[in-house]
């Protein structure tokens, strides 16, 4: 048995990224020993992969080889909420006008999509 247990994101500012992603996904830090360089966030409701934040030098490359698609019931409301948390919208010249996704970047410039799943 094997499963996608966690998505690991390298970060520069661990407290800032912990704050953003916890609020973005409604995730909470895992109980147990803490580490100045690593935080494992898990879904508060228990469903879904963990998100591991790992303080390590690693440049942001665009376009990213791997990114997250977040599925939203209310895409417009979620985009607004994420922007209030510190995300910024990314305007991509190849995005079709009828695309079901909106591209955002987290506070460190990691791009992700908010997909209309309604």
- Do 83 and 104 contact (CB within 8 A), yes or no? yes
How many residues touch its own copies (CB under 8 A)? 43
Q: Does 106 bind its own copies (CB under 8 A)?
A: no
Q: Does 5 bind its own copies (CB under 8 A)?
A: yes
Annotate each residue in 50-89 with x if it binds its own copies (CB under 8 A) or - if it does not, as one string. Answer: xxx---x-xxxx-xxxxxxxxxxxx---x-----------
Q: Which of residues 7-36 bind its own copies (CB under 8 A)?
A: 7-10, 24-26
Q: Residue 32 or residue 63: which is nearer to its own copies going by CB?
A: 63
Q: Minimum distance between the CB of residue 33 and its own copies, rounded to whole angstroms?
A: 14
94 alpha carbon, distance to own chain's centre: 22
CA torsion through residues 49, 54, 56, 57, sign:
positive
Encode burial over 9-40: b for 16+ CB neighbours within 10 A, e otherwise: bbbeebeebbebbbebbebeeeeeeeeeeebb
Q: Which residue, 15 or 80, is less far from its own copies as judged by CB? A: 80
CB atoms within 10 A of CB 51: 22
Point out which residues bind its own copies (CB under 8 A): 1-10, 24-26, 43, 47-52, 56, 58-61, 63-74, 78, 110, 113-115, 117
């Amino acid at each position: 048995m094997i499963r996608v247990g966690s998505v690991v994101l390298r970060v520069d500012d661990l407290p800032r990224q912990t704050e953003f992603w916890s609020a973005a996904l409604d995730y909470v830090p895992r109980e147990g020993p803490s580490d100045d360089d690593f935080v494992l966030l898990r879904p508060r409701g228990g469903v879904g992969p963990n998100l591991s934040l790992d303080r390590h030098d690693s440049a942001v490359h665009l376009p990213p080889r791997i990114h997250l698609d977040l599925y939203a019931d209310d895409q417009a409301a979620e985009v607004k909420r994420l922007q209030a948390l510190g995300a910024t919208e990314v305007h991509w010249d190849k995005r079709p006008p009828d695309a079901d996704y909106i591209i955002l970047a987290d506070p460190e410039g990691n791009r992700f999509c908010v997909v209309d799943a309604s």
